[in-house]
Structure 1
Amino acid sequence: MSTSALTLAGRSLRISSRRPDALITALMLPVMLMLIFVYFFGGAIDTGTTYVTYVVPGAMLLCAGFGAAATAVSVAEDMKNGVIDRFRSRDIGGIPILAGHVAASVLRNLVSTTLVLAVALAIGFRPQASASAFLAAAALLTTYITAISWLAATLGLLAKSPEAAGGFTFLMMFLPYPSSAFVPIDTMPGWLHGFAEHQPLTPVIESLRALLLDQPAGNAPWLALIWCAAITALSLTLAAVLFERRTR
């Protein structure tokens, strides 16, 4: 990562620290949702294991979705308040500017997902992963967070206002629900199976679940990596085009 991107990542982190209400919401809401699912609904859902064990991977991705939404809003705010023109006058390109937002998003999301994992351990989650499997799960989670952070940054460029950017990211926060995050897919209505099985989050969740619980993963990790690579590549391409159009 370039020096400009690292400097701008530090700027984004400082901005986040000045918005404690948004930071606390991004950290605590996924934890609260996990607790609601575990204690309110978990007793009624048969997953073949304790519900907290089943739900943790999905809760971590839900957390990442909330965190990425803040990235879209931050990019939209920069585009609206004119600070981009100042960066451009210093010969800082669009990709380094966005990379700063993405790097800050990845760091924030790693902290928040670690908090979700810590709370899960406190309420009974017991991973069975070896050290290598745990590192593989951490690497996959980081790859996913990076992909959706680039997607969020692109949506921030597409939006005309910070409020619109927040609305655009609704899909990222919604996708964990029609997946294997909270209930087995075979318990869903038949018409939903195809989407739930083939959307990007399901192979990521299944891979994390298999790695953390020392279960067979099949081809899920490869599918997860393909999805992440495709999302990142598409987002980078669109971001470059949109940034050029917005700053002409």
Structure 2
Amino acid sequence: MTTRSTVMLRRNFKHVARNPTSVFNAILMPIVMMLMFVYMLGDAFAVGVDYVDYATPGILLMAVCYGLGSTATAVNSDMTKGIINRFKVMNVPRGAVLTGHVISSVLTNLLAVAAVIGVAFALGFDPRAEPLHWLGVAGMVLLLAVATGWLTVALGLAAKSPETAGMASVPLVMLPFFSSAIVPAEKMGPGVKQFAEYQPFTPIIETIRGLLAGAPDRTDAIIAIAWCVGIAAVGYLWARSAFAKRA
């Protein structure tokens, strides 16, 4: 990472830390979801294993998604408030501006994931993963965070105002609820079941779930990686194009 990207990262991370709403959405909200589904509602779901073991992979994915709204809003604010013009005068390259937002989003996501894992262990989470499996979980989460980070930056650049930018990330927040995060897809009704089976987040969740159980499925992993790489590529190219047009 270049020096300019590091400066942009420090700037964006300070903005996140100073915004209580962003901190709540990014870190505390996934913990609230974990407590609600596992501690309050866990006994209502029959999934064949302890519900905390089943739900934790899905909540980890939610932890990656919940902070994306603030990233989209921050990106759009930079464009609409004229700060980008100042960066251009200082000869700050577009890559540093965009990369700074993505890395800031990724680091916030990783903090949220670490917090969720800590709460999961407090609730009785008992993974069977070996060190290599944990490394795979970390890699999968990081890949997803980068992919959604670039897509969110692109959505923020495409939005007309900071308010609409925040709303643009809502589908990414809602998609995990229509996946196998909370209950198995086969338990869902017609239509929703098929959507859950073929949307991108389900294979990602199943890959993480398999790794944490110590029995990863290679097919799920290949599909999950392909989705993440595809989303990252679309987000990156879209973000570069949108930034060039607006800046």
The alignment's TM-score, normalised by the length of structure 1, stands at 0.96
Shift of 1:244: 1.1
Separation in 2, partners of 1:143, 1:69: 19
Give the structure 1 partner of residue 34 of structure 2: 34
Which runs of structure 2 are paired with 1:120-131 in the superposition (5 Å)? Answer: 120-131=120-131
Give the structure 2 partner of residue 243 of structure 1: 243
- The farther-off stretch of 21-30 and 145-154 is 21-30
Give the structure 1 partner of residue 10 of structure 2: 10
The CA RMSD measured in Å over matched residues stands at 1.1
AA paired with 1:80? T
User: CA offsets per residue over residues 8-28 of structure 1, 9 Å max, x none?
Assistant: 011101111221342134211
CA contact (8 A) 2:39 2:123 kept: no
Give the structure 1 partner of residue 175 of structure 2: 175
Give the structure 1 partner of residue 155 of structure 2: 155
AA paired with 1:50? D
Separation in 2, partners of 1:97, 1:87: 8
SS of the aligned residue for 1:124 comes to coil
AA paired with 1:68? L
Q: Which runs of 4+ in 1 moved over 3 A?
A: none
SS of the aligned residue for 2:95 comes to helix
Structure 1 residues without counterparts, runs of 5 or longer: none
Which runs of structure 2 are paired with 1:213-224 in the superposition (5 Å)? Answer: 213-224=213-224
Shift of 1:208: 0.4
Give the structure 2 partner of residue 234 of structure 1: 234
Q: Residue 216 and residue 245 in structure 1: after superposition, are their counterparts in 2 closer, same or farther (change >3 A)?
A: closer
Separation in 2, partners of 1:228, 1:19: 29
Separation in 1, partners of 2:238, 2:244: 10
Give the structure 1 partner of residue 101 of structure 2: 101
Separation in 2, partners of 1:205, 1:15: 30
AA paired with 2:117? L
AA paired with 1:41? L
The alignment's TM-score, normalised by the length of structure 2, stands at 0.97
Separation in 1, partners of 2:218, 2:242: 38
Separation in 2, partners of 1:21, 1:166: 12
Aligned residues: 247
Give the structure 2 partner of residue 206 of structure 1: 206
